[in-house]
Amino acid sequence: MSAINSIDLVELTHNIKAWGAALGFQQVGISDIDLHQHEAHLQAWLDNDYHGDMHFMKAHGMKRARPDELVPGTLRVISVRMNYLPPDASFAKHLKTSDIGYISRYALGRDYHKVLRKRLKQLGEKITAALSAIEYRDTEYRPFVDSAPVLEHAIAEKAGLGWTGKHSLTLNKEAGSWFFLGELFINLPLPTDSPIEEGCGSCTACMTICPTNAIVAPYKVDARRCISYLTIESGEDIPEELRPLMGNRIYGCDDCQLVCPWNRYADVTTEEDFHPRQVLHGQSLLTLFSWSEETFLANTLGSPIRRIGYEKWQRNIAVAIGNADFSEDNIALLKAQRGMVSEQVDRHIDWAMTQQTAKEHHQKSEQRKQQRLIRVIEKGLVRDA
């Protein structure tokens, strides 16, 4: 069995990037596995309980910052990114319509875990085949896509894919942040890429726009206040003080990305898998809340939304209906759905009904004021005549 030399590794690295592009990745970078500089920040984040109910974060501890502990023998991480912004993104249009269910645009198409993991596996197979041709058969690799204790943003930063923004997402000057990340851990000493210059400067737009003030400091997010965490990760009741701030966001939140200046340069995706499903995109809250569990499972087949389950789905939509403009249809459907799923959903329905009732009373009060004003004006006009 032959040894692999530095010339082979340089050529292989060029090929890896070419193969990655052919597989649909917009960028491929390579980092070493020394992430010790991130350990203090990670530990402080955990010590502050910013991970909320995501107990697996604490259970894995520093393994996130030590790739070779996760996969023994790892020498390099091949980091990739793939755009997901659809051609018709709608951007903030749906956020301005209170009776539309807003779903984070990364989740409107096919589950990115499956798409990227399959391509990363194919990339690993190409590497293995190329090395087998020169009789090197010791290659070992393992793909990850947001599915294991991996500091993916720190790795992407070190691999030159971008820098970590103040909202804790990876930013790229040519692509903004509308892309998925994936990693291929590998036991080859490939040449590494260099980090790029940070580009946030004094901008704090993402911190200012966050509806729940979850970005508690630059580069520091308290997940317990983050709408993405509340609607996706948390299985608890959504704190009442945060519910009015969620608006019509029923799965995830894009606000910090929508306002980021670098996303002016984001390219749309060519991956049809990431194009919005019409059954999810721009649908009314009443339509979505009316789904049975069977309909939910059918309409979210192959979607990342499916993993939150029907109970969280109904919980989230109940909150959004509570935040919507008053409608008798809202009240009627909330009443009809009460007792259909769980006590947790019922608690959120009760809250939503309270909100809708208060809006109804306010609306009627304003109408009475308007009617009184009209009568006063009419009487004055009659006297003047």
Where does residue 226 fall: left (phi above 0), alpha (psi -120 to 50 degrees), or beta otherwise? beta
Q: Is 146 known to be catalytic?
A: yes
Beta-sheet strands, E only, within 6-49: 27-31
Q: According to the annotation, is 200 in a ligand binding site? A: yes
Pairing of strands 163-164, 170-171: antiparallel
Q: According to the annotation, is 110 in a ligand binding site? A: no
Asked whether 340 and 295 are in contact (CB, 8 A), the reply is no
Q: According to the annotation, is 206 in a ligand binding site? A: yes
Nearest to 184 by CA among 23, 324, 53: 23
Q: In the beta sheet, which residues pair with residue 141?
A: 186
Residue with tokens 């995501």: 54
Q: According to the annotation, is 164 in a ligand binding site? A: yes
Q: According to the annotation, is 228 in a ligand binding site? A: yes
Pairing of strands 249-251, 102-103: parallel
Q: According to the annotation, is 181 in a ligand binding site? A: yes
How many Å apart are CA 205 and CA 171, to the nearest integer?
A: 14
Q: According to the annotation, is 98 in a ligand binding site? A: no
Q: According to the annotation, is 23 in a ligand binding site? A: no
**CA 3 and chain centroid, separation:** 43
Q: According to the annotation, is 307 in a ligand binding site? A: no
Nearest to 250 by CA among 94, 88, 354, 146: 94
Q: According to the annotation, is 210 in a ligand binding site? A: yes
The one catalytic residue in 99, 146, 237, 273 is 146
Q: According to the annotation, is 117 in a ligand binding site? A: no
Positions at the binding site for cob(II)alamin: 64, 146, 164, 181, 228, 253-254
Active centre residues (catalytic):
146
Positions at the binding site: 64, 146, 164, 181, 200, 203, 206, 210, 226, 228, 253-254, 256, 260
Positions at the binding site for [4Fe-4S] cluster: 200, 203, 206, 210, 226, 253, 256, 260
